[in-house]
């Protein structure tokens, strides 16, 4: 991809251990060319909420949106988002593509950001209240500045195979804003506003503010009760049969001779009979 504006998008749920009811989601977007990231928190994943989130994200981009690529979830594959991409003035349409089913590597860029930019910070707790929505939106507003203006990253340039080894070559570390600033397609007014923010923002104070946002968001998580579930008490009676189904693993048992049992005929003076089907061979037969 040689110019900005083509986004990979995905939805990250914040349901905790239960997917019942409505809860928060994060609409995660990353530009393939510049690695510029945008996120928007939504309550539920209705088509209306997703379209509104994409509208807010588009207004914040420092370049024109040219295409979106999603997975096959119903929150993206619907008429609402397709109409949102196509109902535009001539020459400003947005290309809408999707990945192959069950092929997460098709959206490798946004899948990586789902982990580094969402899960590692927000975690797996459940958030399902309007207060949590406001807190998550405030967190993403500061994270947007920190990760796009101050956090550099490296882009994979090529792969070189040397024998059985695969060597990866990367470009020089750059922040997403530096890559945007080098693009002629970037919006000059938005680039100038971001440059002003970059020059007047202390990244250490910004990171401390992000820590406070995270602590506030953590306090708003909906957590399940810690009361353990009732368990059925186990019976104290011994098993009627062995769980090993007649198998024995003891070498000493295998080396023992079969024990002869008495029969009514033996008690009357006759010869005793060996028990049948014991499964233990006599020592002289095992040589």
Q: Which DSSP string do the residues of the chain spell out, in sequence order?
A: --SS-EEEEEEEEEBTT---S--EEEEEEEETTT--EEEEEEES--HHHHHHHHHHHHHH-SB---EEEE-S-TTTSSHHHHHHHHSS-TT---EEEEPPTT-GGGGHHHHHHIIIIIIHHHTT-B--SHHHHHHHHHHHHHHHHIIIII--B--EEEEEEETTEEEEEE---B-HHHHHHT-TTB-HHHHHHHHHHHHH--HHHHHHHHHHHHHHHHHT-B----PPPP-PPPP-SPPSS-TTTT----HHHHHSPPPPB--HHHHTT-PPBPPSS-----GGG--
Please give the residue that has the higher pLDDT: either 95 or 226: 95
**Strands 156-162 and 165-170, sheet pairing:** antiparallel
The pLDDT assigned to 102 comes to 86
Tell me the pTM: 0.76
- CATH 3.30.420.10 applies to domain 6-219: yes
> In the chain, where are the structural domains located?
6-219
Answer whether 196's CB lies under 8 Å from 50's CB. no
pLDDT score of 247: 47
Cross-sheet strand order for the sheet of 67-70: 37-43, 24-31, 6-14, 67-70, 95-98
Which residues neighbour 265 within 8 Å (Cβ) at sequence distance 6 or greater? 271, 273
Structure confidence at residue 237 (pLDDT): 65
pLDDT of residue 91: 82
Task: Provide the pLDDT for residue 235.
Answer: 65
User: Residues 148, 151, 157, CA angle at the centre, nearest 5°?
Assistant: 90
- Read off the pLDDT of residues 170-189 as tens digits, 9 standing for 90 and up: 999 999 999 999 999 999 99
Say if CB 126 and CB 223 are below 8 A apart: yes
* 46-80 pLDDT per residue, tens: 999 999 999 999 999 999 999 999 999 999 999 99
Residue 230 has pLDDT above 90, yes or no: no
């Amino acid at each position: 991809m040689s110019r900005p504006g083509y986004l990979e998008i995905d939805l990250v749920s914040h349901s905790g251990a239960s997917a019942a009811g409505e809860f928060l989601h994060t609409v995660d977007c990353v530009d393939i060319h510049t690695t510029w990231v945008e996120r928007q928190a939504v309550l539920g994943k209705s088509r209306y909420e997703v379209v509104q989130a994409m509208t807010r994200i588009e207004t914040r981009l420092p370049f024109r949106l040219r295409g979106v690529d999603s997975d096959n979830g119903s929150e993206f594959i619907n008429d609402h988002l397709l109409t949102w991409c196509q109902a535009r003035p001539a020459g400003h349409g947005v290309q809408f593509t999707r990945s192959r089913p069950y092929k997460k590597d098709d959206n490798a860029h946004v899948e990586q950001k789902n982990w580094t930019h969402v899960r590692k910070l927000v975690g797996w707790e459940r958030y399902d209240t309007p207060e949590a929505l406001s807190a998550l939106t405030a967190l993403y507003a500061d994270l947007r500045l920190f990760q796009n203006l101050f956090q550099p990253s490296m882009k994979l340039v090529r792969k070189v195979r040397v024998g059985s080894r695969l060597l990866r070559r990367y470009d020089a570390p750059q922040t997403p804003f530096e890559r945007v600033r080098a693009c002629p397609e970037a919006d000059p007014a938005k680039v100038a506003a971001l440059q002003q923010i970059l020059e007047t923002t202390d990244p250490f104070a910004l990171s401390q503010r992000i820590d406070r946002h995270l602590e506030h968001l953590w306090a708003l998580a909906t957590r399940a009760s810690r009361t353990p579930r009732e368990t059925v008490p186990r019976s104290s009676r011994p098993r009627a049969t062995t769980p090993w189904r007649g198998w024995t693993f003891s070498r000493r048992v295998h080396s023992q001779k079969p024990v002869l049992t008495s029969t009514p005929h033996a008690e009357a003076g006759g010869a005793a009979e060996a028990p049948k089907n014991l499964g233990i061979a006599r020592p002289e037969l095992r040589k």
